[in-house]
A and B are shown apart, each in its own frame.
Chain A
Amino acid sequence: MPPEPIPQTLETTYREAVREAIRDAMRRDPSVFLMGEDVGRYGGCYAVSKGLIAEFGPERIRDAPLSESGFTGAGIGAAMAGMRPIVELMTVNFSLLALDQILNTAATVRHMSGNQFGAPLVIRMATGAGRQLAAQHSHSLEGWYAHIPGIRVLAPATLEDARGMLWTALQEPDPVLIFENVMLYNMAGQLAAGAGAVDIERAAVRRQGRDLTLITYGGSLWKALDAAQALAADGIEADVIDLRTLRPLDDATIMASVRRTRRAVIVDEGWRSGSISAEIGMRIVEQAFWELDAPVGRVCSAEAPIPYARHLEMAALPQVPAIVRAAKATLGPT
């Protein structure tokens, strides 16, 4: 009897890839546990942790009360005491209730203790708009967190990164925040059967082109790739950079591309003012000014609370036509 062929890739979704990453970490390291609102019996508000409580029990898949500050602080304390917690916050909007714990405790404890303590925990949260959840559930504040020294900020945009970033993040001695764009959870695709940990240092060039550099991350990556496809139809070839890590930024990859193409457009679902896109644009000006052939462009969300109405919500977010327009504006008068 011929042996069963081993599948090279598996059909999966971003949600399942994150779940598989949690399951894998829990199996490999008994000090890892998941804690958050509705992560246990309900299976997570985005169903990421569905089924995990049956496999690992309520000790390791812990439902927390509706107190972000409380359970995030508990996670930080557990991390300082030797555990490797994964704290799930429902959305970045609610993470503001835990901001004091994240900024004043997790990000500073190593500094304040003279390197005696660290807080090696991972805090995962959903970010972004597009699901008609209105202004209090739809913002993209990862750029704020990228402002803070002492933490690392990740934004997985692909199945590989959704599957692979968590384990690497858990090996970090300091807090790591992982931002999962809500529009990606249902994204389906092929993932290598043996997919595992990935690096969290470098940005990735997801498409190569000579004419300009599109710089983006998270949910906007796919819009940037669609825009690059549309531009290619007009003979314009774009490099598309997936930042992957928002802090620390991989300046080398960004500058290498911009020095070659001499043009950059940053696509960021955050608001324009004081954003990660502003930071990237400034770094380009600092490090590659004399290589530029055009002003650095940006496509960001409208400077307004994200609307509930679908057509308004779509209009407020970076979309493919706006990216195409911004890209062409860097190329000349036509």
Chain B
Amino acid sequence: MPSLGADMEAGTLVEWLVKPGDQVHRGDVVAVVETQKGAIEIEIFESGTVEEILVPLDERVPVGTPLARLRLEGEGAEPAPRPPPSSPEATAALGAAPEGGEPKPFLPLARPGPAAPAEAELRPAAERILASPAARRIASERGLDLAALTGSGPGGAVISPDLDRAPAEEPRVAGPRARPGLDLDAMRSAIAGAMARSKREIPHYYLQHTVDMATALDWLAEANAGRTPERRLLAGALFIKAVALAARRFPALNGFFGTKNFEPSRAVHVGVAIAIRGGGLAAPALHDADRLSLGELMDGMRDLVQRTRAGRMRSSEIADATITVSSLGERGVEALYGVIYPPQVAIVGFGKIVQRPWVIDGAVGPRPVVTATLGADHRVSDGHAGALFLAHIDKLLQEPERL
């Protein structure tokens, strides 16, 4: 049972999409788990054959419980080191394969990063993956999980070309399926848990900065005039891209505060705050937002919004966000001060874009402006860095053509 957020302790398995004997590939959705956030599709991070289902339908099990046994592709070639014997739970959960290719139980979401204490204890000390230096660097930059890849290099090591193949191997979920709807009450209590923890544990500091949006909106209007509606851009996409680029430059605002230390992330996965009609909020990750073009970013946002509202978030989207952006769009109020989603360390808020009197070249005139706010974790960064971060976002928004 993967941890789908810092506050999750247990989950209920409500749907199996695979059965023993099925071939699975990295990225396949294999099961659906009911959590406080709603029904979450569980992606698998290993490729292989399902050997045995260990958790039956409708059973509620704690985080870390093996859900199924998997025989990995090419298993037996490289015996994985055993976790230390002092943590028998870890052995059970991650099941380092003994020589001879015993079936290996899997944790579908054994990703580093966000760590509730319970999950941290279940993680193995260090399972060494055979991967080349280049593969390690690129995987780190792109936020890819080396353990999920099949290596084609010397000794079966993961090498850089294997990473280029990785995204293409990730299959899309085929068509909508009937599934349990969103449980807004459960979602409310999940929000309550996460936000209470945030305000209890994270010493927030807040900064605010007003950004002149005239250049950006002019550019947007011009760009959209030549686009069909499904290819048009929203100001929200500019905000997310600007934050993602700025986050790359200010690593103290991008990453996870684990059980003890802050771990900056090289990859920038922007959690996009999505309101759910009827009350509810989720902030699934838009992966590698700093590397997406504005068009790709719009497609990604659209996809996230539709799936989130339909209760079809993916497990990786729940755990991966390294920084959150909350944008109120064209309605609402001028500024919002966010609460950091643990274990992240920063949240950027954008209010409604409003016309305000503004001094341009010594004269007052009307100008569209937006208030950008930063809520950040004072254990990791200080106001000075935060101020430079917001100022950098301003600078980026003054050159929209370069976003």
Contacts and interface: CB of A to CB of B under 8 A. Distances in A.
The answer to whether A binds B is yes
A51 interface: no
Given A262-B160, A294-B159, A289 B133 contact: yes
Interface string A273-314: 000000000000000011111110000000000000000000
A292 B152 contact: no
Interface in B137-194: 137, 152-157, 159-161
B132 A332 contact: no
Contacts of A291: 133-134, 137
A292 B134 contact: yes
Contact of B134 (A262, A331, A332, A333): A262
Contact of A294 (B132, B136, B137): B132
B135 interface: yes
Contacts of B135: 293
Nearest to B152: A332
A293 B155 contact: no
A332 B156 CA distance: 7
A291 B156 CA distance: 18
A290 B133 contact: yes
A330 interface: yes
Contacts of A289: 133
A329 interface: yes
Interface residues of B, number: 15
Contacts of B156: 333
B137 A293 contact: no
A331 B132 contact: no
A331 B134 CA distance: 14
A171 to B, nearest CB: 41
B132 A333 contact: no
B154 A329 contact: yes
B137 A290 contact: yes
Nearest to B155: A333
Contact-residue bracket for chain A: 10 to 19
Nearest to B77: A333
A87 B293 CA distance: 64
A294 B160 contact: no
A100 B119 CA distance: 66
B140 to A, nearest CB: 10
Nearest to B131: A293
B162 to A, nearest CB: 9
Contacts of A330: 154
Contacts of A294: 132, 153-154, 157, 159
Nearest to A334: B152
Given A293-B159, A293-B160, A262 B132 contact: yes
B135 to A, nearest CB: 7
Interface in A124-146: none
Contacts of B152: 332-333
A291 B155 CA distance: 18
B267 to A, nearest CB: 16
Contact of A292 (B133, B155, B161): B133
A330 B153 CA distance: 8
Interface string B66-105: 0000000000000000000000000000000000000000
Nearest to A259: B134
Interface in B268-316: none
Contacts of B132: 262, 292-294
B260 to A, nearest CB: 27
Nearest to B136: A290
Nearest to A328: B154
A294 B161 CA distance: 12
A35 B68 CA distance: 81
A332 B152 CA distance: 6
B160 to A, nearest CB: 5
Interface string A108-123: 0000000000000000
Contacts of B157: 294
Contacts of A332: 152-154, 159
B187 to A, nearest CB: 42
Contacts of A295: 154
Contacts of B155: 333
Interface of A: 262, 289-295, 329-333
10 contacts: A262-B160, A291-B133, A291-B134, A291-B137, A292-B132, A292-B133, A293-B160, A295-B154, A331-B154, A333-B156
Given A294-B132, A294-B154, A332-B152, 8 more contacts: A262-B160, A290-B134, A290-B136, A291-B134, A292-B134, A330-B154, A331-B154, A333-B152
Q: Report the 7 A-B pairs with minimum CB-CB distance, sorted nearest first.
A: A293-B159, A293-B132, A290-B137, A292-B133, A293-B134, A290-B133, A289-B133
